[in-house]
Structure 1
Amino acid sequence: FPGQFKNWFYSLLAMSTVLEDREPFKTVLGFATLLGEDGRPMHKSWGNAIEFNEGADKIGVDVMRWMYVRQNPSENLLFGYHVADETRRRFHLKLWNVYNFFVTYANLDGWSPMAGNKEPGGTPLDDWILSRLSETIKDVTYFLEKYDAYLASGSLEGFLDDLSLWYIRRSRDRVGPAGESAKDKDNFYKTCHTSLVGLSLLLAPFTPFISEVIYRNLTKGDSLHLGSWPSAGKIDEKLIKQMSNLRLVVEKVHAIRKDKGIPVRQPLARLETEAPFEVPNELKSYLTDEVNVKSWILRKGKTLENSLDTKITQELEEEAKTRELIRSIQEERRKMGMSLSEKVDVSNTWLPSALGLVQRLKSKALIDKLSKGDFKVEKV
């Protein structure tokens, strides 16, 4: 914006040179014009002007700051409450949900950062997110040294998406009542704790308030603004690429399910894939669990092609109905305000006949007594 350079940056430069005989700054980053979210200049008479104090109170300063850094500085910034709501939903709420998931289950399982293994990692999924953290530290550091807050914040959004939409999503059954291995729980908690602490340090220049709350609660230490900038650790580029390829297949298979109207909760027997890449065996279970197929056959091919067996047998249908019953019970538990560790008695008009499904139902929904009858969920 020309007025910003003429009336502010130039004035600072001229006064400092004349009065102090030195430059007041070495680098200036200027944005294009700030407009209302309707695309017009802000005017009170048009009803699209937002004073700073009003915006800070109603939007939140961390959200406002993120709106600026996620804006390409060469383009006009559309500023308003609807844009702010979308920014908050896309980033801040996602960050808080990850933090809340970690804290809720860490407290439930009695985990603390001082317990268990000294080093994070343990599974390919853990090692992958730690590599992504190191990669993000490296990228954000590089972009900030170039005064490119736009690309730096983009790297942070990408890491948060990976942390939320893949790492946490694929780790939900590792913790709480569903988790069966104490060692695996510790691997998850240590890795997730390391990821959140590292992310909060990287976010300090961008969103200083929410990052401070998360950091202080996780470390019980001094302010992160008094700490050191994080250093990148080992980056397993091969693992990052392999996981990226696997998630590409997941995306395509989800699209097939959506196109055929088959929800993910309905298990399917087989997926056959031809792809110009390989996926190691230790990663394949992440795909079969995510897209809910019993087996995955991966062959070498020139392009990525997927063939999904959509035939639904009686056994597969029964498994889907069990999943739906678990979801209904969990919803009732939520309405009743029950904790994640409290057991319930459940009755329902339909119950699975397979013993394995009955055991899964009781384990996932924390059921003490299971019987036939009208649908009812009661505290024990």
Structure 2
Amino acid sequence: MTVDYRETVFLPKTDFPMRAGLAAREPEILAKWQQMDLFARQRESAVGREKFVLHDGPPYANGHLHMGHALNKVLKDVINRSQQMLGKDANYVPGWDCHGLPIEWKVEESYRERGADKDAVDKVEFRRECRAFAEKWIGIQTEEFQRLGVIGDWKRPYTTMAYEAEAQIVRELGKFLLNGGLYAGARPVLWSVVEKTALADAEVEYHEHKSTTVWVRFPLLKGPDRLKDASVVIWTTTPWTLPGNRAVAYGEDQDYLCLEVDAVGEKSRAQVDELLIVAAELAESFCEAAGIVERTVVWQGKGADLAGSLCAHPLRGEGYDFDVPLFAADFVTIDQGTGFVHIAPGHGTDDWHLGRAHGLEIPQTVDADGSFFEHVPLFAGTRVLTAEGKDGDANGAVIRALIEAGKLVHKGSLRHSYPHSWRSKAPLIFRNTPQWFISMQTNELREKALQAIDQTRFVPAGGQIRLRSMIEQRPDWCISRQRLWGVPLPLFVRKTTGEPLRDQAVVDRIAAAFEEEGGDAWFNSPPQRWLGNDHDPEDYEQIFDVVEVWFDSGSTHAFVLEARPELKWPASLYLEGSDQHRGWFHTSLLESAGTRGRAPYEAVLTHGFVLDEDGRKMSKSLGNVVSPHDIVGQDGADILRLWVVASDYSDDIRIGQHILKQLKDSYRRFRNTLRYLLGALEGYDKAEALPLEELPELERWVLHRLWELDKAVRRHVENFDFHAVYQDLHSFCAVDLSAFYFDVRKDSLYCDRPDALRRRACRTVLDLVFDHLTAWLAPILCFTTEEAWGHRGKTPESVHLRLFPDLPDAWCDETLAEKWAQIRQVRRAVTGALELERAEKRIGASLQARPKVWVESATAKTAVDSIDFAEVCIVSAIDVLEGDGPSNSFSLEEVPGVWVVSHLAEGEKCERCWKVLPEVGQVAEAPKTCRRCADAVAQLKAAE
């Protein structure tokens, strides 16, 4: 008679689905969090704890989220959730940058599309349109960030355009104004002709650009006696800057030659018998370019020999009748050109510094629209760049003038990396403009900032070197912009002296008004409102520039961290992409060091950029853009969150369909582990639990692994190394649990009687594994762990209201761990032999086997003999002998000293547990079962 024992086997049972369906389930979980106000509940539970404040670097409110946003915000969320579960109060306030050119540009585009004139619109009305644009995108991005599972104070985010923020920005500027750090100056800045404004370094990107190059004669008026009638030859990629030339630079220690031209090629502009001075190492390439086929060296010397020399401007007699001195400069190189650099103090940083050092005129030559001013001889009205950012006619006009003056030696072209606006993508120019600056020297700002860097923790550590080198080299901070949408630069300048008005009462009046009305008040109020009765408006000019947005974001610590009592100053952590060493990290440091003497952060963490699967930058033109919206809509946010931690985000990270497929496989491992735990724990009650001292060795080994993981996870969290958290937890699930512990203990779980100590011990440990694994995974797989926790029915009602469990040190057992490491090594050899038997069709399941194992190590033999090794190897019986195995035995190179010969197990197959044992069929009440299964069946019948 055949008996069906299937109903007597305790197979896992759970409603937790194998198929995740995250795209549909996650919004339901989000709705639950909103209904219970999870963020507020976390704050209530964290009252009195140590504060951990990750200050949000504000994204820009002008478009849908891209993969860089997803990486950044998910990483922040994983850190915040982890710190909260470590037992801290991780209060996260999201924020947005709202001012600046990108939004102003978009609003202007809408004007252009409908043929309207932006300049004809009231300034305040234009600013209101910009504010409305930012508000719209803040709403959209808020929903998109929350859909990623990012938890924070979404009801009270910060924005740089909030009235209280604009007021505080005024107060912060007032501090620099009052301490003398803020000053007016004219210097060359990177200028966008298209956008008609100066750009910060962080707003500049570099692309290949084709430039016209010229070699130009500067006739010597005064120099070494042997160089009478010679010309210094300069080389430049910007011919249009020559009207601004006021000097020539040379390398003091460089070798120079004076060449007498003996013969030239057919189209050469060089002249026979003329004398040309160039660097010795560049003479050959110069002659080849200029078509000089024969020459004689008539003088050679060092750059220092040219000290005190004077040249004539190449356009002398055409309005450029000043002398051009030669000066030594350490920025002169001999990589290309002639070894001489023409100096236009209004069109380059090095040029400006050299000009200032020698008291040169800093000429104003180019207007905001890229055209030469009317006072510029020969070139008034010509344009360097057009309004669309294309090459204008200035270069051509300068070159024609040089030809007519007989001063052009040669003309060519060069493709090289050139600064462009990251918005309009148009080339930029260096242009001398009157701007407002914060001095790096006044009040020792540079020294304070460098000292603050040394006191800050950087992850990775290389960020410290990068930021330090930038601060060491950076010029004064240009904080003014000639635009409308921003915090007004709240300054008055005395007309007679050009000095800014430094009056705390005026600053306070402006800040108070901005707090009530916003920065619009600056544009629609009379000057008397700000100046009060102490100053006559007739004596002052009101400045209508706006503050550059990097000062806005650099001041967020003042109107967020200091203004909100639930936060703290300085922040525990600033976290952004590595480009922010020159952006937010940089300006926040300078603002805070200048006003408070230290950095506004204790630690700085940087991540890389997101690339496609082939390591290329994403772009619409390449068609390789991966959208977080698409991933979330198809696979769910937890897949995206897993991608963040599965990657080494300290470097650039990649994403694409192949990578996503691998991630989904990893996700299934985690999900199936949780599902198995839920199924195996069906009906589990704490009364079933066994104390530590009653647990078998295998269960105590699992507890030791939990203890080890707890230490590792906490260490990784403190180091912000979530890539390591992912690796440790994935290995634990795949190797320790699925491939070993679950596999070994499924026989006991399925077939032991419910009150069997071994089964109770297993379920005791599985309950602990579930508790710990859901806690450790909660910051990463925030939706999946919430779903699993809900299926378990435990308290609290959300996994995100828990802390990482505290583990007793009694779980740590290094001696046991070493023993089981040996056992698992021997097991590997047995498992390998059984896999070969299955492949050869000699067995179907491992329970059909009775291997014979030889173990060389006496220690390993003792370890194996002390346990039920057949159960551990999932075979019906096993024989273990000490010594070497026979020549026909199976062995693994990576498991030396173990040999296996496979044999079939003796006896009959138990119809319930499938073990092959001689005892099967000896209990009449449960035919075709082993004694263990017969006992379990009898117990179940008795329970009925």
Report the TM range for the smaller structure's normalisation: 0.7 to 0.9
Does the aligned pair in 1 maintain the 2:833–2:901 contact within 8 Å? Answer: no
CA RMSD between the two structures: 3.8
TM-score where L is the length of structure 2? 0.32
Structure 2 residue 676 is the aligned partner of structure 1 residue 115: no
Alignment partner, residue 331 of structure 1: none
Query: Pairwise mapping of residues 150-161 of structure 1 onto structure 2 (< 5 A)?
Result: 150-161=723-734
Q: Which runs of 5+ in 2 are unaligned?
A: 1-67, 69-201, 206-576, 885-894, 938-944
Alignment partner, residue 928 of structure 2: 358
Query: Which amino acid is the alignment partner of residue 358 of structure 1?
Result: K
Query: Which amino acid is the alignment partner of residue 678 of structure 2?
Result: V
Aligned mate of 1:59, from 625, 631, 635: 635
Does the aligned pair in 1 maintain the 2:829–2:900 contact within 8 Å? Answer: no
Structure 2 residue 639 is the aligned partner of structure 1 residue 69: no
The CA deviation string for residues 114-159 of structure 1, in whole angstroms up to 9 with x for no partner, is 3223646611111111110011001111122122222232222222
Does the aligned pair in 2 maintain the 1:131–1:236 contact within 8 Å? Answer: yes
Structure 2 residue 716 is the aligned partner of structure 1 residue 143: yes
The CA deviation string for residues 48-72 of structure 1, in whole angstroms up to 9 with x for no partner, is 3211111222232222222222223
Alignment partner, residue 170 of structure 1: 744
Does the aligned pair in 2 maintain the 1:42–1:48 contact within 8 Å? Answer: yes
Secondary structure of residue in 1 paired with 2:688:
coil
Q: CA deviation at 1:363?
A: 5.5
Alignment partner, residue 100 of structure 1: 675
1:283 to 1:225, Cα distance in 2 relative to 1, 3 A:
farther
Alignment partner, residue 337 of structure 1: none
The CA deviation string for residues 139-181 of structure 1, in whole angstroms up to 9 with x for no partner, is 11112212222223222222223122222111112224x1225
Does the aligned pair in 1 maintain the 2:870–2:878 contact within 8 Å? Answer: no
Alignment partner, residue 855 of structure 2: 273
TM-score where L is the length of structure 1? 0.73
Does the aligned pair in 2 maintain the 1:201–1:224 contact within 8 Å? Answer: yes
The CA deviation string for residues 29-79 of structure 1, in whole angstroms up to 9 with x for no partner, is 333442222443323344432111112222322222222222234554221
Structure 2 residue 706 is the aligned partner of structure 1 residue 124: no
Aligned mate of 1:252, from 808, 829, 840: 829
1:294 to 1:10, Cα distance in 2 relative to 1, 3 A:
same
Structure 2 residue 879 is the aligned partner of structure 1 residue 296: yes
1:288 to 1:195, Cα distance in 2 relative to 1, 3 A:
closer
> For the pair shown, which has the larger CA radius of gyration, 1 or 2?
2
Does the aligned pair in 2 maintain the 1:111–1:186 contact within 8 Å? Answer: no
Q: Answer 1 or 2: which has greater strand percent.
A: 2
Does the aligned pair in 2 maintain the 1:99–1:214 contact within 8 Å? Answer: yes
The CA deviation string for residues 73-92 of structure 1, in whole angstroms up to 9 with x for no partner, is 455422123322322323x3
Query: Pairwise mapping of residues 1-380 of structure 1 onto structure 2 (< 5 A)?
Result: 4-7=577-580, 10-15=583-588, 18=591, 21=596, 23-90=599-666, 92-107=667-682, 110-112=683-685, 114-117=686-689, 119=691, 122-161=695-734, 162-176=736-750, 178-182=751-755, 183-218=757-792, 219-233=794-808, 234-259=811-836, 261=840, 262-263=842-843, 264-275=846-857, 277-278=859-860, 279-280=862-863, 284-286=867-869, 289-290=872-873, 292=875, 294-299=877-882, 304-312=896-904, 315=906, 319=909, 355=921, 358-360=928-930
**Separation in 1 of the partners of 2:819 and 2:619?**
51
Q: CA deviation at 1:273?
A: 1.9
Q: Aligned pair count?
A: 332
Query: Which amino acid is the alignment partner of residue 825 of structure 2?
Result: L
**Separation in 2 of the partners of 1:7 and 1:304?**
52
**Separation in 2 of the partners of 1:225 and 1:15?**
32
Higher mean alpha-carbon deviation, 272-281 vs 204-213, is at: 272-281
Does the aligned pair in 2 maintain the 1:13–1:23 contact within 8 Å? Answer: no
Q: Which runs of 5+ in 1 are unaligned?
A: 328-351, 368-380
**Separation in 1 of the partners of 2:791 and 2:586?**
42
Does the aligned pair in 2 maintain the 1:135–1:232 contact within 8 Å? Answer: no
Does the aligned pair in 2 maintain the 1:36–1:48 contact within 8 Å? Answer: yes
Secondary structure of residue in 1 paired with 2:758:
helix
**Separation in 2 of the partners of 1:323 and 1:273?**
33
Secondary structure of residue in 1 paired with 2:607:
coil
1:28 to 1:239, Cα distance in 2 relative to 1, 3 A:
same
Higher relative contact order (CA 8 A, sep 6+): 2
1:36 to 1:266, Cα distance in 2 relative to 1, 3 A:
farther
Q: CA deviation at 1:250?
A: 1.7
Q: Answer 1 or 2: which has greater helix percent.
A: 1
1:101 to 1:204, Cα distance in 2 relative to 1, 3 A:
closer
Alignment partner, residue 163 of structure 2: none
Q: CA deviation at 1:306?
A: 2.6
